[in-house]
Amino acid sequence: MDKFLQAAIDEALLGLAEGGIPIGSVLVHQGKIIGRGHNRRVQSGSTVLHGEMDALEHAGRLPASVYQESVMYTTLSPCSMCSGAILLYGIPRVVIGENQTFMGEEGLLRERGVSVEVVQNAECIALMERFIADQPQLWNEDIGE
């Protein structure tokens, strides 16, 4: 397995262990993780700390050129908010663990020139299937339903 996707899965598992939603993400620049995060909406009482947003937050303020040379790895297809951030910062490539339990804005990303790769990783799928079955209300809140 790709070590960066594994790092995103590790973040998702950390979020789950903290009582949150198991979605993780890492931002990679020139083969090095520069930001990692997981969905912390529950833990932080936040409206916006999805996995991708948390990874960007932990990457910190960087020159636009760094984002434009980076890859976002995420365990789940990015929602409209996270896809918007990917577009805003010009991140050219996104690797997605799975999109079977939730289909985000992959079409928009592709339309705007982002390279999108979906791996359908079994661990990512199982993690979200279990979480959605166990916590349907929390999951629906997270995706705005």
Any idea which residues carry the catalytic annotation?
Answer: 52
* C-alpha pair distances (Å), 140 with each of 10, 57, 137: 23, 24, 5
Spatial strand order in the sheet of 24-29: 32-38, 24-29, 70-74, 93-96, 115-118
Q: Are 7 and 25 in contact (CB under 8 A)?
A: no
Angle at 117 between CA 38 and CA 128, to 5 degrees: 40
